[in-house]
Structure 1
Amino acid sequence: MAHDHAHGHHHGHHQPGGSESRLLWALALTGCFMVAEVVGGVLSGSLALLADAAHMLTDSAALALAWFAARLSKRPSDRRRTFGYHRVQTLAAFVNGLALIGLVIWIGVEAIGRLVNPIEVQADTLMGVAALGLAVNLVVFAILHLGDRDNLNIRGASLHVLGDLLGSAAAIIAGGVIMATGWMPIDPLLSLLVALLILRSASALTRESAHILLEGAPDGLDVHQVEQDIPRQLACVFEVHHVHAWSLTPARPMISLHASLVEGVDRQEALVAIETLLDERFGIRHATIQLEARDHCVGSPDTRGCGEAKATEPDASAHSHSHSHSHG
């Protein structure tokens, strides 16, 4: 049998340096304000403010992790890590998602305790510190939100800051209600509401990053559709099988497949046609393609139209490697 193994690579790069600097600015602002918020929370006795301060503490750790991951991801590939370090950012997003879920559990336990045994809150201190925290969080969120929105690492850091922003807003509302009515349960109740909002976003982030780490197919890509569309749209391809799709990051989908060609077609032209279709139809610019003769039996149970494999010696000259690099 004659087989061609081809690899098509087109890497479109965002600007990692921009993400790195944004994360560093966000880390500096969050870390500085965290100290003030801890002091304010202790002085006022507010759980909403202490919960927000604890969240900012995890934010600082999360932003530090995200910054480190963004910095590490720029390292080039080597013999042991042939795809480089891009996946580090996804790993950091997964860790940040788990940290957010842990934070939600802590806030929930504390809030229930405060509902059972209410604690008096100094509303004026609460509102003053929370208002300053809201301003800082708005600036930090704007810095991160203007970055690469397809970057799970940035999204994970943004979720931490968004949780802080919501926490500060909740603390301001709680302070206003306490000043107007003296009703203390509003503080833990709003803390629970913020925790539920954080949990929703954190769960989505954790699921998406875990899916990538488990080599799941990219979102919106139907592997069965790939198997059907290539032979349907390219007359030179008889069948496509053994399709595996995954991604290094949401912005870097990858695929490998076997393509059985119609007898007599030009292999290089077929290879280019398949790569072009994968790029234009499915948005995949990194493909590993094995070209096979139509009568080749793959030997898997789901192979269609395969008889016994013919004992034909492989043609050593039929192995070709096609590399194309495009840097945006």
Structure 2
Amino acid sequence: MSHSPSVRIHHHQFDDGNPLAQKRILLATILTAVMMFLEVIGGWIFNSMALLADGWHMSSHMLALGLAYFAYRAARYYAKDSRFSFGTWKIEILAGYSSAILLMVVALFMAFHSVERLFNPVQIHYNEAIPIAILGLVVNLICAWLLHDDHHHHHHHEHEHEHEHSHHALQPEHGQHHDLNQKAAFMHVVADAVTSVLAIIALFAGKWLGWSFLDAVLGIVGAILVGKWAFALIKETAETLLDAEMNHPVVTEIREVLQDLPARVVVTDLHVWKVAKGQFSCIVALETQDTLTADQVRAALSIHEEIVHISVEINQPCIA
């Protein structure tokens, strides 16, 4: 006996979130872009690799902020497009992946020129470079203030399914959840502020202590920071885009639930993939000779609130 799946119907309800928060992200993006160009041009003209590295590092956060903003816009624009079976959340992931690829190129560029400057030092115009670095730090602090502690609802989708599959509504924790994109943007700005501090230290050390080599060294440090962040982001976003989630702890939890069902079952097929931040979809096919319904399986799996879509198929094994 087989329980064949029926047609799944999705009704996506899009939440515009807090328009003020998105405007703040746009403003932070513009401020960061202006400061990035000032630092890159200043570092190039005044021969400061630390200042140049800080400018390129700031570019990583400008990309992160800008792509996050445009991802919001695209997700809202396509929110009611029926082609997106599980909503438009992955638009943000695609933006992050694209940003990470560009950042890795930036990191390699920074590292190459910093090493070159280490072996071929040039005169640094400290008096001109230091004010630019300090201004960069001020801009970072302003952006951090704009993005700090302004929690709001990001778009999420409530799925209503008219089918024999499971429907487990998305329930925001305590009635609301924080915007993870804004939180990430805030962390990027804080990290950029740290890099600005490194640039200022290098410039003052070079001016007052004569440690001109520190400028190139901290440029290399900045390149490593950008490269590590870019690599981590590439890995995380690529796994989500490729649905490489079968090593996620939630898969083990699903298998444990299936083993504890009130019937002896054999799992013949299991697919789990992420459809939103911390939310997963699950397709499971079982074979059993015992009495077991799809409702029982769905009820057992529903104890895990992160599983928001559950499709169940139950078959009896073929007897030769």
Residue of structure 2 in register with 1:131 after alignment? 134
TM-score of the aligned structures, taking structure 1 as reference length: 0.75
Residue of structure 2 in register with 1:284 after alignment? 307
Structure 2 CA distance for partners of 1:256 and 1:142, relative to 1, 3 Å: farther
TM-superposition CA deviations, 1:38-82 (whole Å, max 9, x none): 453345321211222233345434432221112111222434333
CA RMSD of aligned residues (A): 3.3
Matching residue's letter, 1:76: A
Contact 1:9 1:287 in 2 (8 A): no
Matching residue's letter, 1:208: E
Superposed displacement of residue 203, structure 1:
1.4
User: Kindly, what percent of the aligned residue pairs are identical?
Assistant: 29
Q: Which sections of structure 2, spanning at least 5 residues, go unmatched?
A: 155-176
Report the number of matched residues.
Answer: 292
Aligned counterpart in structure 2 of residue 206 of structure 1, from 220, 223, 234? 234
1:274 aligns with 2:312: no
Note the 1:74-223 alignment, pairs <5 A.
Answer: 74=76, 75-144=78-147, 146=149, 157=185, 161-217=189-245, 220-223=248-251
TM-superposition CA deviations, 1:106-138 (whole Å, max 9, x none): 110000110111011122322222122112113
Contact 1:166 1:194 in 2 (8 A): no
Superposed displacement of residue 96, structure 1:
1.3
Contact 1:34 1:57 in 2 (8 A): yes
Matching residue's letter, 2:216: P
TM-superposition CA deviations, 1:143-202 (whole Å, max 9, x none): 446457987755775565455323311111011111221121110101111221222222
Matching residue's letter, 2:309: H
Residue of structure 1 in register with 2:2 after alignment? 2
Superposed displacement of residue 249, structure 1:
3.5
Matching residue's letter, 1:289: V
Aligned counterpart in structure 2 of residue 21 of structure 1, from 17, 20, 23? 23
Matches of 2:283 and 2:248, distance apart in 1: 17
Contact 1:254 1:287 in 2 (8 A): yes
Matches of 1:277 and 1:125, distance apart in 2: 66
TM-score of the aligned structures, taking structure 2 as reference length: 0.77
Q: Which sections of structure 1, spanning at least 5 residues, go unmatched?
A: 298-306, 309-328
Q: Which has the larger radius of gyration?
A: 1
Note the 1:317-328 alignment, pairs <5 A.
Answer: none
Contact 1:227 1:239 in 2 (8 A): no
Contact 2:57 2:226 in 1 (8 A): no
Matching residue's letter, 2:267: V
Matches of 2:109 and 2:225, distance apart in 1: 14
